[in-house]
Structure 1
Amino acid sequence: MRHDFIDRYSRIESPVHRLPVGLKFISLLFLIITIVTVPGNLYLLFLAILVFLLSIVKISKIPFSFIFKRLLLMEPFVIGIAILSIFQPDGLSIFLRILIKSTLCLLTIIVFSNLTRFSDLLNFLKKIRMPSVLLNVIALMYRYIFILIDEAERMQRARKSRTFTENKRRYWLMQGSLIGQLFIRSYERGERIYRAMRARGFS
């Protein structure tokens, strides 16, 4: 199983890719903490962070289209969470702040994941003595993403092989059903992994 859905460009050569993993990781944390903690009305600061991230993308030779597509895939979840704030007093302002901050955090993570190989990141976290339990959890989460992608691709192939013609309404109904099935299968697979780990002495 080999996927490059997340970190397709983490192995290319560029000045940014050659920077130490520790420096990139600290920069990631600094940017995310800054985005999350500063007041939501500092729009010039957010614009400066956006320009900085796009400059990094340009220097590192990562296609803007790739970054945009990955961001677009995750943006509906951000909007779904942020839209709940509209019903509060001053809801539109809160909605915009949540949307801007969440989008910038996602963009930061997407860019970082394509600047650093995951194995290099794990080695760095091990060097700074991150607890082994957390390291194992991070590694399992990363690998589990690709298992979910495989599962989703198999389900899509099965759907296409059984469907010759379909209208838009039927298509979206089937997509909703597939998402529900994927969640159920993910939960069941997670339970099996949990029981297997408990059987091997994990607690």
Structure 2
Amino acid sequence: MHRSADRFVTRQPGIESRHSFSYGPHYDPANISFGPLLAFNDERIAPGAGFPEHRHAAIEIATYVVSGQLAHGGPHPSVLRAGETAWLDAAGGVVHSEINASALEPLRFLQSWLVPGTGRVEPLLVPLADREEFPLPSNAFVHVFVVDGSGELPSGARLDAGDAVRCREVRSGSFTAGPDGALLHVWVL
């Protein structure tokens, strides 16, 4: 289990990035990846701020917008809105940018980096009402991140917003949403 408070944090003007794995100056040899998942970042961007053009190579990138609007520049420029997901194949190298498209509203997005060739697996976005359950998949690698709300694992451990759990070969059990419900971002790899 990885608590929100234990995640690596990078702060730049107008940007706060919370990293689930080793990232940039935050190096932990025991926390490099989880199966084909190389990075999982929770990005919070102030109005008008963001990441100017930069290069990526040897990864595939999935971006999910939690709130606000993301102006995504690069080979396929677009504006992503809350609830939308974009996939960028950067295996051969790509230059792109990520800027908050609003001059007034903050932006929050989740970005995952995967090993190239993993396949076009899409993250599951699971909204749960009060006490509703989500059966944990029985795949070899399952990464569950609580975007908002809270809930409980089969073990009885409580997860709050920003917490994550990495499951290997789950046999059975469900995540049960707390009294205010939960929004889960789930990778099944």
Judge same fold: TM > 0.5, yes or no: no
Point out the structure with the larger helix share.
Answer: 1
Point out the structure with the larger strand share.
Answer: 2
The higher relative CO (CA closer than 8 Å, separation ≥ 6) is in: 1
Larger radius of gyration: 1
Under a length normalisation based on structure 1, what TM-score does the superposition of the two structures give? Answer: 0.23
Under a length normalisation based on structure 2, what TM-score does the superposition of the two structures give? Answer: 0.24
